Structure 1
Amino acid sequence: MRIAVGSGNPVKRDATARVFDAAAVEAVVVDSGVSEQPFGRAETRHGAVTRARRAFAEAAAADLAVGIEGGVAAVDSADCGPLEPIGDDLSLVMWAAVTDGDRLSCGGGPTLPLPDRIAARLRAGEELGPVMDDVLGTDDVAKKQGAAGAFTAGTLTRTDALEAAVAAAAGPFLSDHY
């Protein structure tokens, strides 16, 4: 089986290869069709869907294509009750989409609250990857542990988080229950 991943980011390719471990997984660089820093679940999900569709169209011999998009979204903290929520309501979110050219499935990954200082920079128009590089004093954190790894002290890496999103989206192509 051949799988096309709509990104040149090695973390997204590796997350897909974990889910489809017996497949040949190739990176196909495509545009997401959304802003560099997607805001909201709808824009983030749209980016994943666009990447999957474009990767399938570009990779002539692929059996499936996967699109993965990370973004930030407001999460209502009203249900915290009398407890003070940590961080403002902005969280890191991730979505994946899988298509065989006829059908499409979407699945979400973990949602992680963002620290106030990072959320403020994103609301001011910055992109998460460069903000994390600045905060961590590193380069290309999005191609390494990612914000997920930083926010969980390495317990959940970016690859792990994206793998969960890909697995959720891939369910209908992996399971006989659909």
Structure 2
Amino acid sequence: MKMELLRKKENEVKIAIGTQNPTKVNAVKNSFMPHITAEFFSVNAPSNVSAQPLSDDETIEGAINRAFNARTAIQADIGVGLEGGLIKTKQGYFLCNWGAIVDHKLEPIVAGGARIIVPNEIGRSVFHGKELGDVMDEYVNLHKVRHNQGAIGIFTNGLVDRTSMFTHLCDLLIGQYLYQQQHS
């Protein structure tokens, strides 16, 4: 029994999650734990983009940077970065979310998640310089919406919360990662 535990420990992967936000940390663990024996570390990793990304490109870049910076900070095997943003389209303002996995062997693996429209007043406030989390706290008169249900939870009437949204995104990431591991 002890030998089996030691063997698992030796094969354990060190995963750095580029945030300390509990919704994102839980999403990574929910997705990765059934597939990889790992020890998880929550790292306050910079995105190296604006505090509130306002395009898909900036949000993707932020996710990749968080993954890389988290991995580098603790010399992990894998870094995971998740980033939320807001984009403006002809139809209105949409939530967007992107994630990335980096390791020392592969190019970054990237995936995008759910998108839903938000009220114009929310979008305008964000595009005038406020962070979505702060706007949402004011909008629903709650504190730390971004650490709980998130805007997605508010605007889906609780049917999809922030953890489940990011878990789906992480499923897309881990699925691609496992595929590449099997076919490289």
Report the number of matched residues.
166
Aligned to 1:12: 24
User: Any stretches of 5+ residues in structure 2 without a counterpart?
Assistant: 1-12
Q: Select between 118-127 and 47-56 the one with higher mean Cα deviation.
A: 118-127
Instruction: Write out per-residue CA displacement over residues 24-74 of structure 1, whole angstroms, 9 at most, x where no aligned residue.
Output: 2210111110111100000000000000011111122x2211000000112
1:125 aligns with 2:109: no
Match among 33, 45, 64 for residue 48 of structure 2: 33
CA RMSD of aligned residues (A): 1.4
Name the CA distance, whole Å, in 1 between partners of 2:140 and 2:64: 30
* Matched-pair contact (CA < 8 Å) for 1:71–1:93: yes
Match among 95, 99, 104 for residue 102 of structure 2: 99
Identical columns (%) = 34
Structure 1 residue runs of 4+, over 6 Å off? Answer: none
TM-score computed with the length of structure 2 as normaliser: 0.85
Name the CA distance, whole Å, in 2 between partners of 1:64 and 1:76: 38
Name the CA distance, whole Å, in 2 between partners of 1:160 and 1:75: 25
Name the CA distance, whole Å, in 1 between partners of 2:137 and 2:165: 19
Instruction: Write out per-residue CA displacement over residues 61-102 of structure 1, whole angstroms, 9 at most, x where no aligned residue.
Output: x2211000000112344xxxxxxxxxxx21000000001122
Structure having the higher helix fraction is 2
1:113 aligns with 2:125: no
Aligned to 1:158: 162
Structure (1 or 2) with the larger CA radius of gyration: 2
* Matched-pair contact (CA < 8 Å) for 1:72–1:92: yes
Aligned to 1:59: 74
TM-score computed with the length of structure 1 as normaliser: 0.88
Residue identity opposite 1:93 in structure 2: C
